[in-house]
Structures are given as structure tokens and as C-alpha cells.
Amino acid sequence: MTATQTRTSRAGDKLSGRVAFVTGGTRGIGAAICRSLAAQGADVAAGYSGNTERAEMFAQDFSGAYPDSRMSVHRGDIASPDDCRRTVAEVIERHGRLDILVNNAGITADRTVLKMTDDDWRRVIDVNLSGAFYLSQAALKHMLERGSGRIVMISSVIGETGGIGQSNYASAKAGLLGLTKTLAREAAMQVQRSGKTDGLGITVNAVTPGYTATEMLESVPEKVLDGLKGKIPLGRLGEPEEVARVVHFLAADASGYITGQVWGVNGGLDM
């Protein structure tokens, strides 16, 4: 990587000195979020659950593209409260602080309600909703000590509209919106009570991507995908980078007056 390429990777310095933990940060939307945060100067910790090969590939590519950004990867199952607490502690230990938590990791296990197994229901709720709760709880404690922080939930348009075969996923993603608003209220209240109001505050927001071109969509049959595209006013799938740019915007210090909000990135799908 030459100095010129380094400069090209860096798009700004809105997040200089900040440390971000992005769950599911080693591929798909999460990897794009890591890159966009690093492009604004943040140091980045990327979480993953078990695909070590992809995590290593991500780490190698990332270090080449953003040599100025300190980066680490952290393995843990976010369905496990202990793993959530451990990985947040690891990030703080490794980087000295945690300014930005992006609850991005998520899974699908689609089946119609009548065919949904207890395990498919529980696993998707545990990963997609409970994981974000445990991680936010651990991060919030640290952010409250300093009086500043940013939490961004990656929900889904399906959490707002529902989706055939996705009762578990839609319920978890809708649950994230309630969690976002409650955390936003509690964080604001606690920051005000603590008197640590340096102007940055702690904000909590959600992003609801529409259908986005990642491996998550690989299980959707081509014909179904064509049908879905036909319903998107902009006529195409979203790109991970198009979700990521909203996340780095929300993570910036200057976005401190935006909290408890839901940001759609879906090509107009929910109009």
C-alpha cells in the first residue's frame, strides 16, 4: 500500500480518535461499516461468530487499506450474554476505550409460522435481539462513565413491514426499534443526571436496510429476488456501502442531537 493509496482510503476525519466495535464486522454490511468508520479516522474492532477464515481475510484486507487505523477482531456468539460482556471488555482493554457500538450481526432462519420450529424461533431472537441488548448494556456502562457514546442498531425494513416466512426475524428486528428508543431515553436521562454533559452525549439510533447485496440474500431463490426487486421503487438491491454511510453519519460527534430515530435505507421500499 503506497502513501497515495492510504490517502485515498481516508475520506475525512470526523471519527479521529474514536474506537468502534462492529458486531458481524468481518463481512457483508458489517465489513462495509468498518471500512466507512475507518475512512473517517476511527479505530475498529470487528466481531464475528465462527468464520475464522473470513475474519482473517477481512483483517488482512483492512490493514492494507487503512494502515492508520488500529484494528482488532473478536470472536464470540452474541446470543451468549457472557460472550457479549467478554468481547466488549476485550475491545476496551485492547483499544483503551469504546465510543461507538454498532449492533450489526444478524441471522435468518426463514419458515412460515406453521412450520417454524422452537429452535428457529429462539435462535433468531437470541442472536438478533438479545445479543444487541447484552452488548448495549455492557457498552452503555462504559459510555456513561465518560458521558459520551454512539450506539447504532442494524434493524431491517422487515421489522417495519413484516415478511412472509420471517416471523422470528421480523419480531427481532421490530424489537430492536423498541430497544433503540428505550436505550435512547435512558441514556439521555442518565447523562443529564450525571452532569457529564460535554455536548457529545450518548445517542442511540437504528438503521433499517432494505434488500442489500450480501451473502445473507444468497439463500433467496433468483425468482423470488427478481420479484422483490420489482417492488423496490429504485429498482435494485442496496449496496452495503449505502447502509454504512448512514452509520458513520450517525456515529459522528456532530450528530449528537439525533437520538431514538429510525433511518431507512431501502430504495423507497416502505413508501
Catalytic residue among 48, 169, 211, 257: 169
Task: Name beta bridge partners: 150.
Answer: 100, 203
Instruction: Return d(Cα 108, Cα 24) in angstroms, integer.
Output: 14
171 scored as a contact of ligand NAP (CB under 6 A): no
- The DSSP 8-state label assigned to residue 111 in this structure reads B
Helix 81-95 to helix 131-146 angle (10° resolution) is 40
3-state secondary structure of 105: coil
Contacts 24+ apart (CB under 8 A), 223-227: none
Q: What is the DSSP string of 100-145?
A: EEEE-------B-GGG--HHHHHHHHIIIIIHHHHHHHHHHHHHHH
35 scored as a contact of ligand NAP (CB under 6 A): no
The correct pick among 36, 69, 104, 203 for binding ligand NAP (CB under 6 A) is 104
Residues of this chain, 72-91, that bind ligand NAP according to CB under 6 A: 77-79
Q: Which is nearer to ligand NAP, 21 or 66 (CB)?
A: 21
Instruction: Return d(Cα 167, Cα 190) in angstroms, integer.
Output: 34
253 scored as a contact of ligand NAP (CB under 6 A): no
Q: Which is nearer to ligand NAP, 26 or 148 (CB)?
A: 26
Instruction: Return d(Cα 209, Cα 223) in angstroms, integer.
Output: 21
By the 10 Å C-beta count (0-12 exposed, 13-18 middle, 19+ buried), 40 is classed as buried
51 scored as a contact of ligand NAP (CB under 6 A): yes
The correct pick among 27, 74, 95, 248 for binding ligand NAP (CB under 6 A) is 27
> E strands of 26-180, at which residues?
43-48, 71-75, 100-103, 148-154
Q: Which is nearer to ligand NAP, 195 or 230 (CB)?
A: 230
Q: Which is nearer to ligand NAP, 163 or 260 (CB)?
A: 163
The correct pick among 41, 149, 209, 264 for binding ligand NAP (CB under 6 A) is 209
30 scored as a contact of ligand NAP (CB under 6 A): yes
Residue showing cell 468481547:
87
Q: Which is nearer to ligand NAP, 27 or 35 (CB)?
A: 27
Instruction: Select from 18-26, 64-72, 141-149, 191-199 the region that touches ligand NAP (CB under 6 A).
Output: 18-26
211 scored as a contact of ligand NAP (CB under 6 A): yes
Residues of this chain, 117-146, that bind ligand NAP according to CB under 6 A: 127
Q: Which is nearer to ligand NAP, 41 or 106 (CB)?
A: 106
* Residue 48 is a catalytic residue: no
Q: Which residues of 176-204 are buried (b: 16+ CB within 10 A; e: fewer)?
A: bbebbbebbeebbeebeeeebeeebbbbb
Residues of this chain, 141-170, that bind ligand NAP according to CB under 6 A: 154, 156
Provide the binding-site residues for ligand NAP, judged by CB under 6 A. 23-24, 26-30, 47-51, 54, 77-79, 104-107, 127, 154, 156, 209, 211-212, 214-217
Would you please indicate which residues are annotated as catalytic (active-site) residues?
169
